[in-house]
Amino acid sequence: MNFQQEISMGGTLRSDGTLQLDEKPDLQPGRITVVLRPKAETRAPNDDSFWQRMQAMWDIPILASDNGESSLAEVRKLRSEWGGCQEGLERLSDECRTGPSEEPKR
């Protein structure tokens, strides 16, 4: 039986032509075929507050020394800040449905 297993993982192509894989592949030793594909870089718009907050959360380092407590505190702070924005969006949405002169219905 000819069983072929395919694994996809990231890595870095160095200037000398060698590859550095992000993790050890779970394959038997032996010859392999390598397919290289440049990773597409995605960039969020600089003026979009949602993506700015997402990027801020992604940039939070997870510190092993405190089991991530400082990272969690930073995430909670960002969520709290976003809460005020979310309330404003909901108020605006209510006004669009009911008009600014009426009390919003909840």
pLDDT in tens, 79-89: 888 877 888 88
**Residue 103 pLDDT class (50, 70, 90 cuts):** low
Residue 54: closest CA among 41, 44, 40: 44
Q: CA torsion sign, 44 to 46 to 47 to 53?
A: positive
The count of residues in the chain is 106
- CB neighbourhood size of 95 (10 A): 13
Query: For residues 7 and 25, what is the distance between their CA atoms, to the nearest angstrom?
Result: 8
* 3-state percent breakdown (helix, strand, coil) of the chain, nearest 5: 40, 5, 55
Cα distance between residue 64 and residue 56, in whole Å: 19
- Is the pTM for the entire model greater than 0.85? no
Q: How confident is the model at residue 1 (pLDDT cuts 50, 70, 90)?
A: very low
